[in-house]
């Protein structure tokens, strides 16, 4: 199936960039259409760290039942659609469900929302209990448009540092939810091992193009 090109635009709105759910819970990932009378197909994609996006479901206004692909089928995965929205329900959350989820409008291209990270909390194997601490170095001084700034974050863990996922968020003034700007997954080229075997230092270089890039 030809799924076209992938573009980022304002065809849909995914208001919650991060959704946390405990093992076994049910969640609804929201997707609102900026054009309530849209008749183009709505698609949902899942993307796990280091993998390509996979199509999950497609819904059309003129067709009552949505189409589901691969293992993404009811009752675990269900599309709920109505005037101005096309949400995705996921039941009985498990660790394998942790991923980024994108909804989009399929026209000549696929117009995606910004995505929503589903994070599974409260599930640890009895042999995998460990504590994690995060220390972020502050940025001192003023950065002018056109300059770059380096952000640094140190992750301390009792063990298994190499299996952790680190996300960078940006909270701009007036935004109700922080936005994911980068997804680190530990690898030799992304992670600098310090003198401690269970400490990992992450560096993110960010170019400040305009005042819209400011935030926390």
Do 47 and 104 lie in one domain? The reply is yes
Give the domain extent around 177: 132-211
**Cα 94 vs. chain centroid, distance in angstroms?**
17
Please give the distance of CA 118 from its chain centroid, rounded to a whole number. Answer: 7
More confident residue, 66 or 138: 66
**Is 94 a domain residue?**
yes
Q: What is the largest CA-CA distance in the chain?
A: 60
- Residue 158's pLDDT band (cuts 50, 70, 90): low
Number of H helices, E strands in the chain: 0, 19
104 and 48 belong to one structural domain: yes
Number of domains in the chain: 2
Residue-wise pLDDT for 73-111, tens only, equals 999 999 999 989 999 999 999 989 988 899 999 887 888
Read off the CATH number of the domain in which 34 is found: 2.60.40.10
Residue 12 sits in the same domain as residue 87: yes
What confidence score (pLDDT) does residue 49 get? 74
Question: Do 17 and 114 share a structural domain?
Answer: yes
> Kind of pairing, strands 5-8 and 109-112?
parallel
Instruction: Identify the CA nearest to 98 among candidates 80, 118, 72, 83.
Output: 118
Residues 33 and 91 in one domain: yes
């Amino acid at each position: 199936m030809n799924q076209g090109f992938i573009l980022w635009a304002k065809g849909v709105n995914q208001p919650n960039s991060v959704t946390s759910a405990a093992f076994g819970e049910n969640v609804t990932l929201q997707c609102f259409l900026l054009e309530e009378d849209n008749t183009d197909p709505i698609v949902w994609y899942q993307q796990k760290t280091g993998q390509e996006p996979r199509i999950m479901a497609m819904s059309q206004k003129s067709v009552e039942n949505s189409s589901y692909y691969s293992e993404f089928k009811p009752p675990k995965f269900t599309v709920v659609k109505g005037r101005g929205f096309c949400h995705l329900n996921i039941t009985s959350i498990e660790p394998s469900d942790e991923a980024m989820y994108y909804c989009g409008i399929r026209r000549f291209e696929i117009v995606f929302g910004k995505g929503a990270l589903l994070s599974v909390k409260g599930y640890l194997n009895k042999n995998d209990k460990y504590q994690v601490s995060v220390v972020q170095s502050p940025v001192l001084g003023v950065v002018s448009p056109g300059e770059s700034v380096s952000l640094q974050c140190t992750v301390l863990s009792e063990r298994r540092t190499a299996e952790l996922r680190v996300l960078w968020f940006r909270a701009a003034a007036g935004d109700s939810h922080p936005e994911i700007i980068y997804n680190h997954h530990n690898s030799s080229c992304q992670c600098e091992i310090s003198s401690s075997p269970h400490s990992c230092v992450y560096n993110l270089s960010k170019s400040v193009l305009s005042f819209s890039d400011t935030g926390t």
